[in-house]
A and B are shown apart, each in its own frame.
Chain A
Amino acid sequence: MVSHAPSFEACAFRVGEHSFAVDSGCVAEVLHAAKLTPVPLAPEAIAGLLHLRGRIVPVIDVRRRLGLPAAAAETPRTNLVIELGDDSYSLLVDEVLDVQAIPLDRIEPTAAGAERAAAEAVTGVFAAETRLIHLLDPERLVQSLIKQRLTPFVRHGVSHDG
């Protein structure tokens, strides 16, 4: 089917049974088998830190973020490194699928019952030939993880008196 409507390039990936896509313009690179450094007491969806040519990149486990069951230990995972402004993040996904042009007029609003945790980051749905692709806004995904300070400053009455 040929569409002449405006479209945008999306990079599709798979997490469990679900397909997602992000604007391919923000994808910097794809890494397989990268070593992650865990971050104790970080939000659950943070899988760790990735060392990428001198930069430290936080890795967001999309599976955990969406509340899907953990993958089997031997399941290979892939890092989809994205750039948002000056910041880099990596999305830990099961598999990067392809890059395809998605016609804007065929993007539908998010279906009710979409993954609850992801709902705030999913901006629309596109019915591809064989699967349903959820369009993910990485900016919103990151923002949804930035909460109020986890440990508010506790003042013990006067803290500098002695």
Chain B
Amino acid sequence: MVGANDNEEFVQEFLVESTENLDQLDRDLIALEQAPGDEERLASIFRTVHTIKGNSGFFGFSKLGALTHSGEHLLGRLRDGKLTFDDRVTGSLYSMVDAVRAILRTIETTGSEGDHDFRDLAQRLTAVAAGEAVEAAPLRPAPADASPPAAVAVAAAAAATSEKPTSADRTASESSIRVDVGLVGSILDLVGELVLARNELRSIDTADPAVLAAAHRINAVTNALQETAVKTRLQPIEHVFNKFPRTVRDLAVSCGKDVQLSIDGGDTELDRTLIESIRDPLTHLVRNAVDHGIEPPDVRAARGKPRVGRLSLRAFNESGQVTIEVEDDGGGIAVAAVRDKAVAKGLVAAERAASLPDEKILQFIFEPGFSTAAAVTSVSGRGVGMDVVKTNIEAIGGTVDIHSRPGLGTTVRVRVPLTLAIMPALIVRSASERLAIPQAAVRELVPLRGDRAADRGGPRIEGLDDAPVVRVRGRLLPVVFLDEFLGLRERTACRDDGTVVLVRVDDHEFGIVIDGVQHGQPAAAGVGEAASLSTVVVKPIGSLLSQVGLYAGATVLGDGGVVLILDLRGILRAADVPAGREVDGASVAPLASDAARYLVCRTRQGRRIALPLERITRLEHVAAADLQPLGGRQVVRRGDGFTSVVDADRLLGAEATTPADAVKLVVVGGAEGTVAVSVGQILDVLPAESPLQADSATTGVSGLLALGGLATEVLDVSRGLPW
């Protein structure tokens, strides 16, 4: 259903477009006068008039339609060579252009075509078109009640119905201009240059108040200019939304459905390049909602719903990003069908699928090739090409997620950055390099504990060489040592004097260990850590370097230095972050608490076991020689005291084996005391996928649990506690 408001927007677009076309028409007519044989030019004029005629028919502007129809007829005869181009022809065509312009202006100010009818002009056009028969004869004498020349009449009509636009009340076509995107790009580049020059100016050591004052003004102007220049790239999202009323109407009619579309937040602004990129995915989502989501009226009535389905499109700004929601009140997605299909396609083990919550199951429809299966389409009635939607949105740094309640409807939420041209970023140091991390992904900065000399009270890097983790508020997160990863230098064991940048990419959360954040940039000296957060202008690095897959671009800092912007998704992939996948177990919903998460290990004899994360205080790596026998058991010295060490295999009733040179210890604490369980290998941190199934029959095991799709025994830690 196209409401009055939507229609008004269309009319507005039509007016802007037509006014531009008329200007082109003027130029074309002048050119044609000079070169009457130019067929291409004539064809272009014909097309322009034809377009205006077609649009006026669509909006029901009958006078405009009749007038342009006469003009088109005249042009058609010219094109077909039935008529030669002469002054009479040109004159009447110019009059037509003027009349059209006058009508458009009347529509713009009053909303209707006005009272004046242009029948006389239309007649004249028709007469001229018929001119071939009376080529040599003078123009037919005007009727006795001859109207004044059309152009004059038009001018009078225009004056009567519209006021001259004042500067305060400009017409739509006058208040905006079209600018080449490349030009906007160069303006941004120049502003960037200006920022650098400004910084040089600020670094000049002077006490001259006149210089300082001038520098201060230049600084303020430069900041404002940068902000404004960036805004020139933004466009309201209604450029995409505007076509949906028509799409929805047509599709609803062809599907035999009744759909009421509501649009909110069309004025939310987005970079124009991104607007182009979201057009297709959004269209796809809207089509899906009408085609598959919303039920036919009879079905809706039978389900006790209003016969008219509701589809809503909402756009809004949220923490530096733009969120777009496509929500329908249709039948929702048949989760069971998706689950079956996921199992059938081998995407997940059957027992695991059964334990996954619906929200997780829904994510499968984003899997490549998943939704093309006809069976799913007809059963679930949803999801065609969702993988393409996801791929396209992720390509511009966005995310998609889907929520559905059976019988009540589906919401797809798309989040995209405001712009790719400029973004807030954290400038960090790693070895001798400076790098930028997009701030949108940064959750938290965690300073590590510090070396022995300066204990900062932060967490330490725990775990083992092959799976370093950091514990933050009870959660163990995998970390990547940026210096080592980028080959800048060797990782020096577990460095504890760095800082962990906790980032979240898609559904993965991990830490990036850096030396520190960049302090004291000239542009914002002395503001401490906040100074490291800069708004950077993203510059492309070209295919030669983007193929590396680790950099999203580069930027130039205030001091003129070039800094690479990390592509966190690329790093996640390339670094093969061990627990990244597991962490996403906590994705859609808020991160699960430790209560539901387990550390999965392998004993030295190869048995897969799990320990509840909430009981684990730390992971340690000690030399075998550090284990001291003490009265029939082993202890390890930790700080001021000793902790007893028990072999996991021993707890399970098997023979303990003598560890080689290194021992991996999981330190478990509780009200009863502390014990270090020695294991063969730390595998993962995983969320529980099933309730704990008690098992008192097996020695050392408290129960059975599905973890990572595998049945895993949970170690009965209390047995290890010797007191």
Q: How large is the interface on B (under 10, 10 to 19, 20 to 34, 35 or more residues)?
A: 35 or more
Residues A42 and B545 in contact in the complex (CB < 8 Å), given A55-B539, A56-B554, A161-B364: yes
Cβ–Cβ contact B545 & A39, under 8 A: yes
Choose the segment among A6-14, A120-128, A142-150 that binds chain B (4+ C-beta atoms closer than 8 Å). Answer: A142-150
CA distance A75 to B552 in the complex (A): 33
Contacts of B288 in A (CB 8 A): none
CA distance A33 to B462 in the complex (A): 45
Residues A39 and B539 in contact in the complex (CB < 8 Å), given A145-B544, A162-B360: no
Q: Does B367 touch A at the CB level, under 8 Å?
A: yes
CA distance A142 to B551 in the complex (A): 19
Q: Choose from B192, B433, B584 the contact partner of A54 (Cβ within 8 Å).
A: B192
Q: Choose from B367, B487, B562 the contact partner of A49 (Cβ within 8 Å).
A: B562
Within 8 A of A (CB), among B530-558: 539-545, 547-551, 553-554, 556
Cβ–Cβ contact B581 & A54, under 8 A: no
Choose the segment among B163-171, B250-258, B295-303, B569-577 that binds chain A (4+ C-beta atoms closer than 8 Å). Answer: B569-577
Task: Tally chain A residues at the interface, Cβ within 8 Å.
Answer: 35
Encode B104-148 as 1/0 by CB contact (under 8 A) with A: 000000000000000000000000000000000000000000000
Cβ–Cβ contact A160 & B366, under 8 A: yes
Encode A134-155 as 1/0 by CB contact (under 8 A) with B: 0000000010011101110110
What is the predominant secondary structure among interface residues of chain A facing chain B? loop
Cβ–Cβ contact B364 & A160, under 8 A: yes
Within 8 A of B (CB), among A39-74: 39-43, 46, 49-51, 53-56, 58, 60
Most A CB within 10 A of own CB, among B542, B560, B581: B542
CA distance A151 to B486 in the complex (A): 14
Q: Choose from A40, A89, A151, A162 the contact partner of B549 (Cβ within 8 Å).
A: A151
Cβ–Cβ contact A41 & B486, under 8 A: yes
Q: How far is the CB of A72 from chain B (nearest CB, A)?
A: 22
Q: Does B11 touch A at the CB level, under 8 Å?
A: no
Cβ–Cβ contact A161 & B545, under 8 A: no
Most A CB within 10 A of own CB, among B193, B367, B564: B564
Contacts of B433 in A (CB 8 A): 38, 40
CA distance A10 to B657 in the complex (A): 74
Cβ–Cβ contact B356 & A161, under 8 A: yes
Q: Does A4 touch B at the CB level, under 8 Å?
A: no
Kindly report which residue of chain B lies nearest to residue A45, judged by CB atoms. B544
Contacts of B563 in A (CB 8 A): 37
Q: Choose from A38, A60, A156 the contact partner of B581 (Cβ within 8 Å).
A: A156
Cβ–Cβ contact B541 & A54, under 8 A: no
Cβ–Cβ contact A142 & B547, under 8 A: no
Cβ–Cβ contact A162 & B585, under 8 A: yes
Q: Does A87 touch B at the CB level, under 8 Å?
A: yes
Q: How far is the CB of B686 from chain A (nearest CB, A)?
A: 9
Q: How far is the CB of A56 from chain B (nearest CB, A)?
A: 5
30 A–B contacts from the bound complex (CB under 8 Å): A37-B561, A38-B433, A39-B545, A40-B564, A41-B548, A43-B544, A49-B541, A49-B564, A50-B562, A51-B556, A51-B561, A54-B189, A56-B542, A56-B553, A56-B554, A89-B542, A147-B547, A149-B549, A150-B548, A151-B573, A157-B347, A158-B347, A160-B364, A160-B367, A160-B584, A161-B356, A161-B360, A162-B360, A162-B586, A162-B587
- Chain A residues with CB under 8 Å of chain B are 37-43, 46, 49-51, 53-56, 58, 60, 87, 89, 142, 145-147, 149-151, 153-154, 156-162
